[in-house]
Structure 1
Amino acid sequence: MHPDPQLLIPNELPFDELGVVDAVPINMEAHPPNESPVYRNKMHPQSLVANLHPDLDTHHRLFENSVKLFKDRPCFGSRPIDYTTGKSAGHYESLTYKEVNIRKQNLGSGILHVLNNNPFVDTNLSSHQKILSHQLKYRSYDFHDDNISFVLSIFSANRMEWLLTDLACSSYSITNTALYDTLGENVAKHILESTESPIIICSKDKIKMLLKLKQANATSLQNVIAIVSMDPLTDQDNGMVTLGEDLRIAVHDMYQVELLGSINTQNELPPLPQTVYTISFTSGTTGSNPKGAKITQANIASAMSYLATEIPQIKDGRALIYLPLTHIYERGTSAFALTTGYYLGFPRTITANSERGDAFSNLIEDCKIFKPHYFSIVPRLLTKLESVVKSYIAQETDSINAQLINKIIQYKTSRQSVRDAAKGENHLIDNYPGYTYLKKMLGFDNLIWTQTASAPINPATLIYLKASLSIGVSQLYGLTEVTGAFTKGHPYECIPGSCGSTGVSCEVKLVSREEMGYTVDEHKGELLIRGPGVFPGYFKNDEETSKVLDSNLGWFSSGDIARIDPNNGRIYIIDRVKNFFKLAQGEYISPEKIENIYLLKNPIIQQLYIHGDSIRHWLVGIVGISHELGIKFLNDECGYNRADMSVAEIFQELNKVENKAIFLKKINQNVSSSINGLEKLHNIHIELNPLTLDRNVVTPTFKIKRGVASKFFASIFNRLYDLERSLVEHSKL
């Protein structure tokens, strides 16, 4: 008999008391010469930890445990929406853990009911046969040979109903997948065709697009027989429902499905650890169709357990679920939050008649209402936060107040750099109204820390935000194939830049990549990962699985080049294995490494994409800077004396050859000690925000799609190379 799992939930500890847990090598005397030692977390070097408790080995069981522990606590919160006007209320309404559990059971029962009683079931289709046999065979499903249940697809932006569906799938052993809202119809069609999904639960605005695909006889939707709207259907939607019936698709809304489930209750069908929890399609950086990573119940339970050892509980803690749930990163952190009793708030719901606004403004609006204690974010929005804070201080009409705020920030910066976990606290300055207002204007009144992953971030940005907003900022590292994050830097790391050390659930090592100039003798190489969070393979793609997963030893090849500090095991991601190319001189160039250095050394640069190829002798780049910094550069460095230029005018002036030459000289000087001559930029094109999802040149996690980006910016590169040519040809750098 195992001890009560409730005793295993971590205590409510502040970050200072959690300390900084590093990693240690475990096989110093016995490892191949081209490999580093294996590193494990110092907290538990004798073995890897798969679960908080032996009985808590699935997503379903962990949530069940939370319902017992926290049944009366608020669980999910959302802003009520007026569907007529599209406006969201200025407050959050919540469901308790007990109420979410009831709705989850009703939804799971309802899903099985509407599928089993669907007039459009075709027994000639294997996915439909799985519907009819699900209750008899659910315990036989596992990850081997793609032996999974029928697949339910979720298609929506973040909202309460998204995670409610996810919980229902787990409790009834239904494998799910997520359709991307940002990558267009072709990716959605690819996922639906690969999974043969018979049911889609989505926001109402997606239904017309799906029915249009069905009308076009898309093979991707030949298995779909049910669509469930997260939004209520009204009389005005009768035409859409009728069209669905004509196309052999039953269209319901979630209220109807839950009501049917409450009337036709079915016992839960709890999954086993080897059951496939989800097929998470990686966004990919090559422009090809994404690969579907099979993530098991054991994988997600391991990820949840790991995060519970790293992130403290907060009394009455609130987490804003902001990053896309289509990615395993936010799904993992959301699942962790449920494991430890957090109140999860969701962004405002956007309907067809809502004012959309920009992502940053929407985030701040939700924060001001929900007032979270933590949330996950991406680097580009952290950079935006830094810009907003600096702009506010610069525009402060009381110059004495602005000077005092800057002095407080300088003091905190110096104190926080003394040691890990130092916050630079001082009661008098922490309560200075001008300084505390910085948090209030962003809705960060209660924010203790935020965490970021997916792309490089300038350490100077982290330093400034920690000092100006009195918050911690952690960098995490992970991949879809290892079920999200498995490292987490300390939120008050004195010298930001690392992703922390490996957690208790994984071990890591480096392998030399000499063709790229990285060897384990210098503590650099490709990062390999092994542990209970590592996926069993890609769905219907054994060839790609064999490229990255050692079936005998279990090591996953990340494709990332890392440096591991031998003193503490902290991991620094410095390059990508596939992201290198040859210049005309025959020399290899690693663009991501160079981009990271330029971003690190030049705070004026907020986005950077470096390009070169085998018929060119030097590099060019696409640079993104902010409106404010663009004006400042022209005025301070180029002799302008204007503050009233439009955005279009600013970037027209910045792209004049004479001004770009000044810009290049400045940024190249800042990196001269860190790169060699072949790695410096010779010409650039400058825009406000060149690397966007709309252009399809980055993934939803803002990794550059280099193949796609090179085609998108081809005409610009031709101009830089053939018309303007090198602007630093005679530089002595």
Structure 2
Amino acid sequence: MSVHESDNYISLAELVETNLSFRPLKEELSQYDANSPEYISALIDAMPLTENTNYRSFLKKQSVPIPGSELNPGYSAVYRSSLSPDHLVSSMHPQLTTFFDLFNFAVKRFPDRDCLGQRVPLDGSGKLSDHYVFESYQEIQKRSRNLGSGIMTVVNLKRQRKFDVNDFIVSLWSSNRKEWIIADLACQAYSVANTALYETLGVGSSQYILNSTESPVLIVSKVKIYAILDLLPQLPHLSTVICMDDLSSDELSQLNGPLLPRSTNEAGERISVLTLRQVEEIGANNDVPIIPPKPSTLYTISFTSGTTGTPKGVLLNHSHIAAGITFVMSIFRVPPQKRGKQLYDMCFLPLAHIFERMIAGYVLSSGVGLGFLHKADPAVLVEDLKILKPDSFSLVPRVLTKFEAGIKNGLRGDSVSALTKNVATNILDQKRTRFQTRGGPDRSIINQVVFHRVLIDKIRDSLGLTNVSFLVTGSAPVSNDTLLFMKSALDTGIRQGYGSTETFAGICISEPLEKDSGTCGGMAISTECRLRSIPEMKYDAERDQKGEVQLRGPQIFAGYYKNPEETRKVLSKDGWFSTGDVGYIDAKGRLSIIDRVKNFFKLAQGEYIAPEKIENLYLSSCPYISQIFVHGDSFKPFLVAVLGLDLETFEPVLKQRLPALKRFHGQDIIKLLNDNREYRKEVVKMMNSELTGLQGFEKINNILVGLEPLKVADDTITPTFKVKRVNAAKKYHQDLNRLYEEGSLIKVEKL
């Protein structure tokens, strides 16, 4: 019953024209020619789809099983979005089938709108502007085309090829900044694929990616220049290094002279260091005609740092990002009072990760201004948010919990009067109760006139979230308590999504103001999902709607770069991608991730343990746990764990339970906990008391704590915070043995 061939995909425009649920929207659009810019603009402005159907009915059935698809033994039914149960949607409109199409249509609609912006240095003062300085959509389009033309010219001159030859890969290495986006747009204009090196990956991984892609050109920030010069002898294909920052003539002559470790690469091409502005000027003077991409054109190779082995390059075409942007456009809502106005978003999560690539793609297809932090340091986030005041913001649970801790600590401070504390507590309790009992926005007079003026607007202003209409979170589990608290404190919706690099980020997302939050929401209109039974882990997809998540549709990747063996392991001949995640689909058709496939072992008493399921439950139940590595031994009857504690959140709570710790802070508290069995016992009791859904043998019995015990630099976690179990167990081998020697901190029967 399920379609998977691209010939069977339809555009969102075709969905509106053929699905009776959207008849009023079809009639509204009928005044325009279906291929005109006016039609496409009106279609985009009419989003989200949920505003063009019965929203209450949608909330009750967000994904639906496809009739007849439940007959496959060992699998659940196939689920699709209830907004498009008969077809998967691959694009907004037949004329917008690539990211290049979407961005250029935005330029036509909003040529003078703010596109990319940053705070700029004030002349001679060393200080930064107290506002964001933006370049417009048409200015960014011009710069990106000049840069693309310049890259084609420089690379092909060295290779002695025609200027329109685009059979190479551009590599990017820097933190988020507008030049990163300009370079990405430049690649699109000439159908050149790119890849990004993770800021957090070691030199070995960067060398591996540059050599496996045979990339001749690397675009880097100035701080990476010397690292690349050191690496040059091991990079046989690299010939051009383009610095995003301006360099003086002296710096350039040094970098192209005595500091250059070799003058040519192994193909005999001259190695040179140029600035981005220089390459833009070369491109403007040479003006190579653009080469627009097709849907099948490779857009990017996104390397994932898995929990084992070398990074895998995920091949993602323009069709994949076009489908992803279409999904986001179909589901994100701009409030009526903001429609037609200049909106802003903060580009905070790393652009090397696919989550931010999808969000940036949506933003740049919608005429929204994208701002960047003034330096690559999360510590300046709130400072810059207060200046940009974005209308939407994407973040990870770790940032949400830090916001939560900041708000709570601000309301507990010694300078805060008892009356103010009581008023704040009362407001937050009322908001929490309201969000738990009723969905949708709170339009009550007391909320608008009293709660906002007394508390909520002050909290929003303190975080720079004054104008935020909703927040988006993903990449890791988040505590329901944190979701409820932040919804209440900000009086805004929070959307939690699920996806992976192989699916071009999100393939489902929760509705922002549901009363029963905590799921990842219903399926995208671009993706269908089924669950595979895993008997060895006791997951029955047919009976319980629990099993391995398998996905299919226009967002699913084409394969792994130069790695057919790994591709075959996860991508079936009929298009199903096996994610390795274990999911549950509820009665409303919403997906929740509950475990990982194959990550299980036996304890001494013969009980099977799925550590990732346990880790996710602790993370989602205990906001003060920022990291967790659960470890078991088949010769031992209980579990131990290495924990990362967010002391900003945890210290006040801990000191209430353990008054002896009141005069200690930070690392001193960590040391005291690790040294004192009774203190740790109290922490373990607190953790386990806040937990539901685990059997006694699945609960943690002893712990080692730290502020950030798992680090990318130590190779114990990936850049996307997945635990590398073998490496973590090796690093903490002696500590884990000591925990077992010490024994359980709690009696098993009292778990």
TM-score normalised to structure 2 length: 0.88
Instruction: Tell me the residue number matched to 1:74.
Output: 114
How far apart are the structure 2 equivalents of 1:15 and 1:688? 44
* Alpha-carbon distance between aligned partners in 2 of 1:278 and 1:2, rounded to the nearest angstrom: 31
Work out which of the residue numbers 553, 576, 580 in structure 1 matches 2:596: 576
What is the CA RMSD across the aligned residues, in angstroms?
A: 2.2
Give the alignment of 1:120-159 within 5 angstroms.
121=159, 132=161, 135=164, 149-159=167-177
Which segment is superposed worse, 607-616 or 384-393? 607-616
User: How has the CA–CA distance of structure 1 residues 628 and 349 changed in structure 2, closer, same or farther, with 3 Å as cutoff?
Assistant: closer
Corresponding residue of 1:3:
35
Deviation at 1:708, TM superposition (A): 2.1
Q: Match for residue 117 of structure 1?
A: 157
Separation in structure 2 between the aligned mates of residue 719 and residue 602 of structure 1, nearest angstrom = 25
Residue type of the alignment partner of 2:547: G
The one-letter code matched in structure 2 to 1:191 is I
Q: Relative to structure 1, is the Cα distance of residues 171 and 624 closer, same or farther in structure 2, using a 3 angstrom cutoff?
A: same
Q: Does 2:281 align with 1:281?
A: no
Q: Match for 2:437 among 402, 405, 418?
A: 418
Are 2:582 and 1:561 aligned?
yes
Aligned amino acid, residue 428 of structure 1: V
Change (3 A) 1:385 1:60: same
Deviation at 1:101, TM superposition (A): 0.8
CA, structure 1 residues 630+343, in 2 after alignment: closer, same or farther (shift >3 Å)?
A: closer
| Cα distance in 1, alignment partners of residues 122 and 580 from structure 2 | 46
Distance 1:202 1:443 in 2: 30
**Is 2:315–2:559's contact at 8 Å kept on the other side of the alignment?**
yes
Hey, what's the Cα distance between the residues in 1 that align with 2:615 and 2:102? 41
Measure how far apart 1:246 and its partner are: 4.2
Q: How does 1:488-567 map to 2 (within 5 A)?
A: 488-520=509-541, 521-551=543-573, 553-565=574-586, 567=587
Residue correspondences, number: 693
Q: Which residue of 2 aligns with 1:229?
A: 243
For 2:344, give the aligned amino acid. Answer: R
**Partner of residue 702 from structure 2, selected from 660, 672, 683:** 683
Find the partner of 2:186 among 137, 161, 168.
Answer: 168
Quote the offset at 1:542 in angstroms: 0.0
Determine if contact 2:230/2:261 at 8 Å carries over to the other structure. Answer: no
Is 2:223 the counterpart of 1:208? no
- Kindly indicate whether residue 499 of structure 2 is the aligned counterpart of residue 483 of structure 1: no
Q: Distance in 1 between matches of 2:123 and 2:722?
A: 35
1:241 aligns to what? 256
Give, in whole Å, the separation in 2 of the partners of 1:44 and 1:30: 18
Aligned to 1:312: 333
Note if 1:45 corresponds to 2:85.
Answer: yes
Aligned-residue sequence identity (percent) comes to 39
How far apart, in 2, do the equivalents of 1:86 and 1:246 lie?
A: 36
User: Aligned letter for 2:249?
Assistant: D
In structure 1, how many angstroms separate the alpha carbons of the residues matched to 2:38 and 2:492?
30
- For the pair 1:26 / 2:66, whether they are aligned, the reply is yes
Deviations 1:470-527 (A, max 9, x none): 2221101111111111111112121221111111001001010111111111110000
Q: What SS class does the counterpart of residue 736 from structure 2 fall into? A: helix
Other-structure match for 1:267: 289
- Of 352, 355, 369, the residue aligned with 1:343 is 369
What is the distance in 2 between the residues matched to 1:433 and 1:247? 66
- Find the counterpart in structure 1 of residue 725 from structure 2: 706
- Does the C-alpha gap of structure 1 residues 698 and 32 become closer, same or farther in structure 2, counting only changes over 3 Å? same
Distance of 1:481 and 1:165 partners within structure 2: 22
SS of 2:612's equivalent in the other structure is helix
Q: Distance in 2 between matches of 1:326 and 1:87?
A: 29
Asked if the contact 1:420–1:490 (Cα under 8 Å) also holds between the matched residues in 2, the reply is no
Output the CA distance in 2 between the equivalents of 1:600 and 1:706.
20
Q: Aligned pair in 2 of structure 1 residues 75, 628: CA closer, same or farther (>3 Å)?
A: closer
Q: Which runs of 5+ in 1 are unaligned?
A: 124-131, 139-148, 351-357
Give deviations 1:635-681, integer Å, cap 9, x for gaps.
Answer: 332342x643132221222221011122222322333x522222111
What does residue 75 of structure 2 align with?
35
Report the 3-state secondary structure (helix = DSSP H, G, I; strand = E; otherwise coil) of the residue aligned with 1:390: helix
Paired letter, 2:735: I
Shift of residue 627 of structure 1? 2.5
Indicate the larger mover: 182-191 or 418-427.
Answer: 418-427
* C-alpha distance in structure 2 between counterparts of 1:468 and 1:285, whole Å: 36
* TM-score normalised per structure 1: 0.90
- Aligned AA for 1:601? S
2:449 is matched with 428
How many angstroms apart in 2 are the aligned matches of 1:211 and 1:677?
A: 55
Tell me which of 467, 470, 473 is aligned to 2:488.
467
Question: How far apart are 1:247 and its partner, in Å?
Answer: 2.9
Using the alignment, how far apart are the partners of 1:15 and 1:631 within structure 2?
A: 45
SS at match of 2:550: strand
Partner of 2:467: 446
Tell me, in whole angstroms, the C-alpha distance in 1 between the residues paired with 2:722 and 2:343.
31
Cα separation, 2, equivalents of 1:29 and 1:375: 37
By how many angstroms is 1:710 displaced? 1.7
Compute the displacement of 1:12 (Å): 6.5
Q: 1:420 to 1:17 in 2, by over 3 A?
A: farther
> Would the aligned equivalents of 2:509 and 2:522 in 1 still touch at CA under 8 Å?
yes
2:408 aligns with 390
Q: Partner letter of residue 10 of structure 1? A: I
Give me the whole-angstrom Cα distance separating, in 2, the residues matched to 1:467 and 1:161. 37
Q: Is the 8 A contact 1:12 1:312 kept in 2?
A: no
Could you tell me which residue of structure 2 aligns to residue 330 of structure 1? 356
> How far does residue 729 in structure 1 lie from its aligned partner after superposition?
4.3
**Structure 2 counterpart SS, 1:609:** strand
Q: Deviations over 1:520-578 (max 9, x none)?
A: 11110000000011111000000000000012x1010011000001x221000001113
Q: State the alpha-carbon separation in 2 of the partners of residues 41 and 190 from structure 1.
A: 39
In the TM superposition, residue 2 of structure 1 has moved relative to its aligned partner by 5.2
Does residue 693 (structure 1) correspond to residue 712 (structure 2)? The answer is yes
Q: Report deviation, 1:30.
A: 4.6
Name 1:321's counterpart in structure 2. Answer: 347
1:235 partner letter: S
Aligned to 2:644: 624
Give, as a single letter, the amino acid of the residue that structure 1 aligns with 2:521: G
CA distance in 2 between counterparts of 1:319 and 1:662 reads 42
CA distance in 2, matches of 1:712, 1:53: 52
Q: Please name the residue that 1:353 is paired with.
A: none
1:658 to 678, 700, 705: 678
Taking a change above 3 Å as real, the CA distance of residues 134 and 530 of structure 1, as seen in their structure-2 partners, is farther
Q: Per-residue deviation at 1:97?
A: 0.8
**Structure 1 residue identity aligned to 2:627:** Q
Q: Which moved more, 1:613-622 or 1:631-640?
A: 631-640
| Distance of 1:266 and 1:173 partners within structure 2 | 13
